Structures are given as structure tokens and as C-alpha cells.
Amino acid sequence: MFYLPVNPVVLACPAKLNLLLAVTGRRPDGFHELVSVVAPVALADTLTVEPAAEFSLSCDDPTVPTDGTNLVLKAAAAFRTATGWRGGAKFTLAKCIPAGAGLGGGSSDAAIALKALNQLAGNPLAPDALATVAAGVGSDCALFIAGGPVVMRGRGEKVERLPEAVAARLRGRRVLIFKPAFGVATPWAYARLALRNQGAVKSQGYQTPAQAEKRLAAFVSAVETGAGLEGVLFNDLEAPVFGKFVALPLLLEHLRHRFGLAARMSGSGSACFALLPDGAPVAGITAAVRAEWGDSTFVAEMTLR
């Protein structure tokens, strides 16, 4: 008999930031190989899960699909296949993470749905098995099963925790996240990167695996020694995305000149972020971002988790 609690399960679905994202090539299945340092942030959706006869999903954002194309319901179907559990659940999603941002909102929702279902079903899957199911749902999903700052490899399904001393130094770091009104589609961004790896501009495409691991080692060393991270933050998807969406690099350059911030893009964008030094004039930076991108720009000060 499976354990079904009377009270709904209410869980936070955190966003993520790619502090380092090096892409090393395209796989035969169309996905890309990468090495990435990813940290969750305090920004989060909220997922309420209640036992029900079947799976269903509602959302407070009318632009979010609530049919079988949503990753939450894909995760539920994958969980049923993996466990044979015949129960159901009513999912209610409150969105705070903007879409098309490179912040992993949909992947996080799916991963946390898997955690909730595992709890409802009496924990039939150990964490490693749950992460395997998550990886089958989406490339970024497994990192949210692990939690905390991690290194992702493969297409994102291979997740390794950072050394605790390194993770501890990252947790609590203040960060400003800002996203313009437009989003960027992840498949488009990777396709543009693949094109840059062809012909005369091939050198502007993929990293070699050795280069990616060297960047990772430099990142870890900078955190361990307390050196500034500005020189080791990196994202291979910036070049192809910035080539089309020029408002992104123009703002980042403005923030560098005016405030000394080494702002970067997260994932495939369009959200960007800047680690905030002590005493950073957050109100002034926020005003500068909105002056460039408009009053509708999403801006939030958060901490890494």
C-alpha cells in the first residue's frame, strides 16, 4: 500500500544560474555535450501536489500550457512508467520564474514534481534512480534533484556535486538577475552555436573537452582561493545569442563601464546576472537596467543556494 498524506505537498521549484557553460560539441542525438557549473537561486515557482485519481495540472500563468506538453505532466508519466505506481496527482503551479530566460523554470518544475510524486508514492525511488528518471524528462532536470551548486556534464544528465568547501563559498552570494521582455528559445541558441562551428568562423564555436575542463578547474580554484570570479564566469552561448539580440551585450558592457560589474548571460538567455560585491548600488544598477530595457524588465536581487 502506498502512503498518501492528507495534506497537500507544497514545494519550491528554484531557478538556476549557469555560472560556467562550456559547450564541447554536438552529439549524434542532436543534443550538445557541455561542462557547466550551475547554482540554484532563491527565485522559485511554487508547486502544490495533492493526491487524485489522475494527473492534472493548473497554472496561474495563462501562457503556460497545462496539457501533456508541459514538463510537469511529462515527469508524472515518466514516474509512473519507472515505478508502476497507479496513483495520480493534481498539480497546481504558481509561476515566478520568467519563461524563455535560461533560468530552468520548466525543468525545475518537472524535477520537483518527481520529488513530490516519490513522496506521495512512499519513496519507491532512491535519489540516484530519481535523477535518472529526471534526466529522461529534460536535460536540466537532474540538477534540481541533486540541489545545491553542481557540475553538469554530458547533455546535462551527469550531475556531480561541487566539493562542499567550494559550494559553501558560493551559497549566499548576492546576485542581481535581469531579463528583458523577450525570451530566447534554447534549441535556436544551440543551433546558432552549431552554425558558428562551421566554415570560416569555426574557432568561435565549440570548446575542446580539455579547454572546458581547464575552465572548470580555474573556476573551482578561484572560489577556493577567494579570488574574484569575474574572470572565470563564462558562457559559450553568449556569442550566438548576442549576435542577434544586441540589446543584451550593449547593456552588459554599460554595466561593466558604469558599475564595474562582470555580468553574464545564464544558459541560453535571455536572462543575465551579475554577482554583487559588498556595497553595490543595487537601486542604481536596477535603474540603469530598466533605463536600457524598459520598465517591464524583470529585475530581482537574489542569493545563490
Catalytic, out of 74, 95, 115, 140: 140
Question: Please, are residues 151 and 36 in contact by the beta-carbon 8 Å criterion?
Answer: yes
Question: Please, are residues 118 and 125 in contact by the beta-carbon 8 Å criterion?
Answer: yes
Q: How far is CA 178 from CA 14, 87, 181, 214, 263, in A?
A: 16, 40, 10, 29, 10
Helix, strand or coil, per DSSP, at residue 176: strand
Q: Which amino acid is at 269?
A: G
Active site residue 158: no
Question: Please, are residues 151 and 285 in contact by the beta-carbon 8 Å criterion?
Answer: no
Active site residue 140: yes
Cell 558592457 belongs to residue: 253
Question: How far apart are the C-alpha atoms of 209 and 52, rounded to whole Å?
Answer: 46
Q: Which cell is 223 given?
A: 572560489
Catalytic, out of 16, 74, 115, 179: 16
Q: What strand order describes the sheet that includes 174-179?
A: 264-265, 272-275, 174-179, 298-303
Cell 572560489 belongs to residue: 223
Question: How far apart are the C-alpha atoms of 254 and 260, rounded to whole Å?
Answer: 9
Question: Please, are residues 86 and 50 in contact by the beta-carbon 8 Å criterion?
Answer: no
Q: Could you list the active site residues?
A: 16, 140
